[in-house]
Structure 1
Amino acid sequence: MSSAEAAALGPGRPWPLGASVQAEGLNFALAAPDATRVELCLFDAEGRIELRRLALPCCSHGIWHGFLPGAGVGLVYGWRVHGPWQPAQGHRFNPAKVLLDPYAREVVGRYDGSELFLGHDPAQPQRPDARDNAAVALKARVAEEPPALAPEEHVHVPAADTVLYELHVRGATMRHPGIAEALRGSYLGVAQPVFLEHLRRLGVTTLSLMPLAHRADEARLLKLGLSNYWGYSPIAWFAPEARYASREPGANALMECRTMVDALHAQGFEVLVDVVFNHSAELDELGPTLSLRGIANRHYHHLRPGHAAQYENWSGCGNVLNLAEPLTLRLVMDALRWWVQHLGVDGFRFDLAPILGRDAQGFSARAAFFAAVAQDPVLARVKLVAEPWDIGPGGYQLGRFPAPWQEWNDRYRDTLRAFWLVGGVSRGGFVHALAGSSEAFRPTARGPLAGVNFVTAHDGFNLRDLVSYRQRHNQANGEHNRDGHGHNLSTNAGVEGPSDDPAVVALRLRLRRALLATLALSLGTPMLLAGDEIGHSQQGNNNAYCQDNEITWLDWAGAEAGLAGYLAQCLALRRRHARLRADRWLGDEEVRWLHPDGDALAGHEWERVDRRAFAAWLPDGGAGCELLLLFNPDAEPHRFTLPAGREGAAHGWRLVLRSDMDLLAPDLGTEAVLPAHSLWVAER
């Protein structure tokens, strides 16, 4: 490198990290505390030809920085980071590998799983690989940033009114006949009026989008012709996934992502994004060197004590990011603020969230990450939802996250499935879930809304398959049907898979309607899975993470008639009754639990796992009327004696919802006979 080239970079400043556009050029800053030299590599517009290498002239407290005059938006660049190759000490520097800036807003190129991406010699993993990968490496393109969103421009749905709807941006519209082909499966597809109108009619308030950060698919999947469709393999936490850009000329993922959020906001929808800060796509010690591993490996990752060449694997994905390290914590906090301020999102769902609060002593609700979020003026305002488990020691942390965090409640899921589908749950166990799971959330001084209630989510059977398959059918994943959860608490209603038997079809529909109604009527924050309301099937695949095809693309043309309208009716009932949306634990005077004969449930009747029918009577349902919920999960009908009116007045119960059929008998007398596997709701 000539002296003229060396002088091309001015000193710049160590903040902000990444490439930032200034009036007279670009400032570059990269945190690499253990590096001995850092080179900025400039590429052609396609990212294939390396044009120049410029050594960053300054290092301030572990942050290397420099200023490139005359450069601006559109510049494609990567890093070569020099330092020791000492895996046993946690160092994996290899300047033969061009590295992606962790702060990239736009990524050029795609990881193809080839050996050129390996930092180690594949034949001798203890040695560095000397082959240069500049032509194929992932690079960053300096992007024009969307304007910052003011706090008042965000949508904040009150907790009591929130109804979550989990969806995959690509799968939601890839087969939607009402959306132009060039927009299907894209950010702009979700923004189309026909899709937004569907959401509005349902009555959902908040979209929970599956991961949008730019990903690198695992080499194993690529060899099988598959991909990490769900997106839980991130490599660039600031860059929206380019594969979700439209097929319109000049499409730009960054701007289209913001356009999608703006369109959702314009219709009053709140937007949460699923974020993955528990691991990166660089996997275990035999995985590729794409970014963090080659920049500051021992700072970004939890390494095994006494075996620093290996990674802790509490994520099950080969490595674990270490948020107890200031460098990693800064990356995470900067990325979260970026998504809120520049991409406009209103909150986050955190994958494998206990990892975010882990240090050498294990998980703590007082960990640095939780404290940092709580005091941050941007992030303290947004919704925060945890997946409260990982596979590390003490990894199940349901109920232990700090306020105001919410948590996915898998105990609720399993209880509802068992109650309605397979048995084994008593009235008492079901009522505990129905009433908000106080055992989980009361100890941390939180109310029922801290629990995110769900029956189905992206992980596991969807609703149609939950009542159509007793066993997983994941052969398409290429893992010999060994992947995915084996304990699904599902039923096939007598026939495994599709059936045209009218009795089987009717039972499956009745069970789905009962589950959806229970979800809408339970205390807590309900979450629905996109596609359940139209009867989409994944052909029995309960781990469709790698299926970017018609297994996961929602089948709008084959939508079941009436199911979406029924769900909308359930959610409207929830909105009408404030007691169903309460964020406090209901007292004995507010709800009465009744045996079908009309007497209060007592003693052993709570613990029975046979003949479990019962009623929940809310004398003040919160809509100026009483509310009566009748549950019959059993395989035979049950006769209910209905509560009398005040001071001997007429019963006056009016049936407003029944899961077994649409036809209502509005006025009930003193008794009601509930068919098997059904739920009725009455008001007076």
Structure 2
Amino acid sequence: MPMKMEIWPGRPYPLGATWDGQGVNFSLFSENATRVDLCLFDGQTGRQSACITLSERTDQCWHCYLPSVRPGQRYGYRVYGPYDPAQGHRFNPHKLLLDPYAKQITGQMLWHDHHFGYTIGHPDEDLSFDTRDSMAGTPLCQVADPAFVWGDDRRPNIPWDKTVLYELHVKGFTRNHPKVPEHLRGTYAGLATQPVIEYLQRLGVTSVELMPIHEFLDDRHLLDRNLTNYWGYNTIGFFAPTVRYSATGELSEFKTMVKTLHSAGIEVILDVVYNHTAEGNERGPTLCFRGIDNASYYRQSPIDPRYYMDFTGCGNTLNMLHPRVLQLIMDSLRYWVTEMHVDGFRFDLAAALARELYEVDRLSAFFEIIGQDPILSQVKLIAEPWDVGEGGYQVGNFPVGWTEWNAEYRDVMRAYWKGDGGRTGHLAYRLTGSSDLYESSGRRPYASINFITAHDGFTLEDLVSYNEKYNEANGEDNRDGHNHNLSWNCGIEGPTDDPEVNALRRRQKRNLLASLLLAQGVPMLLAGDEIGRTQQGNNNAYCQDNELSWLDWHLDEDRQRLFHYVRRLIALRQEHPVFRRKHFFQGRSIAGADVKDIMWLNPDGREMTTQDWDQEHRRSLAVFLGGEVLGELDAHGKQMTDDNFLLLLNADHEPMTFTLLKLNGRTRWQIVLDTTTEDGIGRPRHLRGGSRLTLGPRSLVLLREHSNHQEVDDEWSLLSP
């Protein structure tokens, strides 16, 4: 028998289910609904225990207060209104709906035709109306208890110029980790264990960027192929951490993970998907937003509201033009900062959030609101600056205060090191923070998030091992994934026992990693690249929740050596501010200095001319970085200085001899990095300015000006014996 309970009017705000220590306030926005029912479910049996018609409606929010309800209560909604797809309305009270503001979502989605608001198989499916109840197999919302002892937890507040990002998947990172207790592998708790924390600290990364942890769904078509939406870019709950990564099912587990990482000095950044939802296009399921108020939540075609405007390639686009949808996203962001203590966000397909009508508007309401928000304007904001709509590629066009994944950097570095000609001019911009993209708008070098690889595409190991993608395991006949990978297999496709090919691949990885961690801007490392992780040529492993995606922690000598090389690169970057400047280079000296802050040099030691930059065949160049002319202040207001460095790059297949820069007859250069060696450590040689140094094919060398009057060489070769 349904239970009887006391029902009070409650309040319209806050939206969602809010426990105040005595009872729970429920509030749901729907502009076009005619009736809203709150359904309560027994936690033991899963059966519906009560159905309450919300009689209170304030500012288009339907609400009540239940003094007898406690945290842990499971619930959902049924929403009544017109079913008129031609006018953009798709209400269907036969479908149990999730609360968009749910802090916890429990239960597994068991797909069935009854989850769709229309009748599958009907002659005009999209205009039909399905009367089957969808309760069976639908996840439920759960009232959350926000209590947690944060103690003295505080955000690490790593300055952008000292930030080293590390993109990882919560499950895949620890699923096979031998030192993480088995019952914690693949969970938030597993990420907070001592072996993982120590690994991150040893590596030297400052900020973990977690791939989506908002509650998401596995697409029905993937489950039919025994696959899942492993990456998680299919959100259905913007406030709830997905339970699939939880060892306990409690909110406190996620909070403990954040607190533990903070205590180790590591920031937590969330990859968030506010551009679309898991409900897909007009033929998708009715699970939440579509059934609550389709016309408000989704961008619809102005010609025929039956169809969606799709700027995401996922079937729908959230309607950022509606104030309540904008409020939903802002409330979600503030919740994750204030209640869950995260340190920032990476916005998936962020250009979709900036579309006012059709055009991308970088001063849209979304960015204006974040820019003036006293909470959100102070956390790290990272844009994936594109979507799939017309004009959606917006690298360099986001507002001050935002950083961007710099795809220009990725493509130039890949092309240069695979040996493509005519890239040195672009290379110079990318190595120095991409001033051509960011300086004119008043942004700094750290607006550029530099990356060679990310979750989407080849891993670093595969980038140097495959010319083609191999995505057959995804079940889409290898049609999915990028075809323009700018990869090079070094002579043989895939794994090989050829020692020369493997040596070249190892050197190419060292070249790419050095280019990443010695460039101006903020480096982002894909988890596992530092230990040679492979996806066997799959460049779109979004549905591979298996050994193909999980990190392999059994490290042979080569993989351990690569880890220590990356660790050393990060330490070198952090030790020397000349590699992480807060301002762009000016190409000139400053008061009291007799050298420029940067000089671009030919291999013969001459400064580059316009004609030199235009040479299509050029694949070698040198850059002088003037550490003694930083022209920047430290945290205490004192002028910063650093060593002078000389970076030599040779992407040619032939050796190249460089004449080392000579500064006022006093220069001594010490080799500190040499990618021709297996550990990447430069041989302990000192060379005088004006002497010659021969680099091997496809190699990089970093030298530091050295004041020690040790014996020096006038010529030295780094060619492998």
Sort the TM-score into its range (normalised by shorter chain): over 0.9
- Give me the whole-angstrom Cα distance separating, in 2, the residues matched to 1:47 and 1:510: 60
Map of 2:613 onto structure 1: 606
Equivalent position to 2:25, from 24, 27, 45: 27
Map of 1:531 onto structure 2: 528
Map of 2:622 onto structure 1: 615
Task: Within 5 Å, give how 1:53-452 maps onto structure 2.
Answer: 53-122=51-120, 123=122, 124-147=125-148, 153-246=154-247, 251-452=248-449
- Give me the whole-angstrom Cα distance separating, in 2, the residues matched to 1:421 and 1:128: 56
Map of 1:676 onto structure 2: 697
What's the CA shift for 1:394?
Answer: 1.0
Map of 1:655 onto structure 2: 671
After superposing the two structures, state which structure 1 stretch, 666-675 or 548-557, moved more: 666-675
- Give me the whole-angstrom Cα distance separating, in 1, the residues matched to 2:200 and 2:143: 35
| TM-score, normalised relative to structure 2 | 0.91
* C-alpha contact (below 8 Å) 2:424/2:618 kept by paired residues: no
* C-alpha contact (below 8 Å) 2:165/2:525 kept by paired residues: yes
What's the CA shift for 1:596?
Answer: 0.7
Per-residue Cα deviation, 1:103-125 (whole angstroms, up to 9, x for no partner): 11111222233212111111232
Equivalent position to 1:541, from 523, 531, 538: 538
Map of 1:456 onto structure 2: 453
Q: Secondary structure at the match of 2:611?
A: helix
Task: Within 5 Å, give how 1:566-585 maps onto structure 2.
Answer: 566-585=565-584
Task: Within 5 Å, give how 1:542-561 maps onto structure 2.
Answer: 542-558=539-555, 560-561=559-560
* C-alpha contact (below 8 Å) 1:203/1:568 kept by paired residues: yes
Map of 2:34 onto structure 1: 36
* C-alpha contact (below 8 Å) 2:405/2:449 kept by paired residues: yes
* C-alpha contact (below 8 Å) 1:110/1:216 kept by paired residues: no
Cα separation, partners in 2 of 1:33 and 1:109, compared to 1, 3 Å: same
What's the CA shift for 1:149?
Answer: 6.1
Give the letter aligned to residue 12 of structure 1.
G
RMSD: 1.7
What's the CA shift for 1:362?
Answer: 2.0
What's the CA shift for 1:134?
Answer: 1.7
- Give me the whole-angstrom Cα distance separating, in 1, the residues matched to 2:78 and 2:395: 42
What's the CA shift for 1:48?
Answer: 3.1
Give the letter aligned to residue 676 of structure 1.
P
- Give me the whole-angstrom Cα distance separating, in 2, the residues matched to 1:166 and 1:629: 27
* C-alpha contact (below 8 Å) 1:418/1:425 kept by paired residues: no
* C-alpha contact (below 8 Å) 1:47/1:135 kept by paired residues: no
After superposing the two structures, state which structure 1 stretch, 667-676 or 177-186, moved more: 667-676
- Give me the whole-angstrom Cα distance separating, in 1, the residues matched to 2:280 and 2:252: 30
After superposing the two structures, state which structure 1 stretch, 421-430 or 174-183, moved more: 421-430
What's the CA shift for 1:585?
Answer: 1.4
Q: Secondary structure at the match of 1:304?
A: coil
* C-alpha contact (below 8 Å) 2:381/2:401 kept by paired residues: yes
Q: Secondary structure at the match of 1:307?
A: coil
What's the CA shift for 1:147?
Answer: 3.9
- Give me the whole-angstrom Cα distance separating, in 1, the residues matched to 2:403 and 2:11: 39
* C-alpha contact (below 8 Å) 2:453/2:460 kept by paired residues: yes
Q: Secondary structure at the match of 1:555?
A: coil
Map of 2:710 onto structure 1: none
* C-alpha contact (below 8 Å) 2:106/2:243 kept by paired residues: no
Cα separation, partners in 2 of 1:169 and 1:146, compared to 1, 3 Å: farther
What's the CA shift for 1:151?
Answer: 10
* C-alpha contact (below 8 Å) 1:229/1:547 kept by paired residues: yes
Q: Secondary structure at the match of 1:362?
A: coil
What's the CA shift for 1:252?
Answer: 2.1
Q: What stretches of structure 2 of length at least 5 have no aligned partner?
A: 588-595, 631-640, 706-721
Q: Secondary structure at the match of 1:40?
A: strand
* C-alpha contact (below 8 Å) 2:79/2:92 kept by paired residues: yes
Q: Secondary structure at the match of 2:525?
A: strand
Cα separation, partners in 2 of 1:134 and 1:683, compared to 1, 3 Å: same
* C-alpha contact (below 8 Å) 2:268/2:342 kept by paired residues: yes
Identical pairs, percent = 46
- Give me the whole-angstrom Cα distance separating, in 2, the residues matched to 1:264 and 1:34: 44
Give the letter aligned to residue 609 of structure 2.
A
What's the CA shift for 1:244?
Answer: 0.4
- Give me the whole-angstrom Cα distance separating, in 1, the residues matched to 2:44 and 2:507: 55
Map of 2:474 onto structure 1: 477
Residues 1:635 and 2:642 are matched in the alignment: no
What's the CA shift for 1:424?
Answer: 3.4
- Give me the whole-angstrom Cα distance separating, in 1, the residues matched to 2:57 and 2:442: 46
Q: Secondary structure at the match of 2:584?
A: coil
* C-alpha contact (below 8 Å) 2:385/2:395 kept by paired residues: yes
After superposing the two structures, state which structure 1 stretch, 212-221 or 357-366, moved more: 357-366
* C-alpha contact (below 8 Å) 2:578/2:642 kept by paired residues: no
